[in-house]
Structure 1
Amino acid sequence: MKLVIATLSIVILVLASSFVHPSMALNDTIKPNTNLDCGSLCGARCSKAGHEGCMKFCQICCQKCNCVPSGTYGNKHQCPCYRDMRNSKGKPKCP
């Protein structure tokens, strides 16, 4: 009897875990955040940049990732989406 209960418990856990994973994936979708002021966040991020495209690319990344790392350089660990976005040549897209 204990073997039947143990086997049944394992089967239930495996089935339950298969239903949990797809629902978690829905939370990873990128949703636009209308409360985020990408203009001012990117203005601060690009304030010391000598590259004219900094604001353009920062705002694209901000809109897709809903975050901008603090400071004028580095700190990309604060926003993994921003950090991991790449251009067509495989280089970082976000300043």
Structure 2
Amino acid sequence: ATAAAQQSAVLARTCEGARTPLLAAANTPAQLTARQRDIAHLAAKGTTSKQIAESLHLSTRTVDNHLQTIYTKLGVSTRRELAALLQEQGGE
């Protein structure tokens, strides 16, 4: 569903001025927890999972699990896509 929402946002941008209730609802960003935001920002900066784990006093496995949840919520599958999306959203 998140990937479909991402695709619809891309398509909606090509339709200048398109406004419908469904498009407005689709513009509501997925909400990340504070911890997920911290991890997402660190990962987007190129910090490794191990480095993130050490700085936040977590296990590497926990960081990787958080990243998978973040990817699912935001409809991305790589750190590069995550970084681009966060930059596009102005840092969320």
**The two structures share one fold, judged by TM-score above 0.5:** no
Tell me the TM-score range normalised by the shorter chain: 0.3 to 0.5
Question: TM-score, normalised on structure 1?
Answer: 0.33
Q: Look at both structures and tell me which one has the larger radius of gyration over its CA atoms.
A: 1
Question: TM-score, normalised on structure 2?
Answer: 0.34
